[in-house]
Amino acid sequence: MNPPDVSPYQRIGGDAAIRKLVDRFYERMDKLPEAYAARKIHPADLTESGNKLFDFLSGWLGGPQRYVEKHGHPMLRRRHFPYAIGPEERDQWLLCMQLALDETVADEPLRTTLFAQFVQLGEHLRNCGANAHACEPEAART
């Protein structure tokens, strides 16, 4: 059992482990046909997306607040609102994250906890579909 003052950032293994998770996540998204809907809302070159996710996860997991230092408050819903994110995109994103977690995080209780948090995060970012906003990106509504 981990002491309560040990952050998920420390439990996962710090920067190296987060980088590995992010790299595996985007490898899965780039290669899996069943992740096509999630992949197509990302840029062709995933380098910047990977760097931003790494920076975000670092702070989100209790480590250095890199994303905030570089980009300000994450405001995730607002930053993702230009993209139509429905149940399909959310579920495909979660599939890639689940596979990446399974492949890179040996600590099963941590993996389970993190995935549950990613599910909540994915739902928070959903902006179309049942019980959500209109299913078109903000740019198309203006």
* Structural contact between residues 37 and 84, judged by C-beta atoms closer than 8 angstroms: no
pLDDT at 52: 96
Instruction: Provide the residue-wise pLDDT of the chain in tens; the chain has 142 residues.
Output: 556 689 999 999 999 999 999 999 999 999 999 999 999 999 999 999 999 999 999 999 999 999 999 988 888 888 888 899 999 999 999 999 999 999 999 999 999 999 999 999 999 999 988 654 456 554 444 4
What pLDDT is stored for residue 2 in this prediction? 57
pLDDT for 106 equals 96
Q: Is 25 exposed, middle or buried (0-12, 13-18, 19+ CB in 10 A)?
A: buried
What was the pLDDT predicted at 140? 47
**CA triple 55-48-20, angle to 5 deg:** 55
Q: Which domains are assigned to the chain?
A: 11-141 (1.10.490.10)
Burial of 81 (0-12, 13-18, 19+ CB in 10 A): middle
42 and 50 Cβ atoms separated by less than 8 Å: no
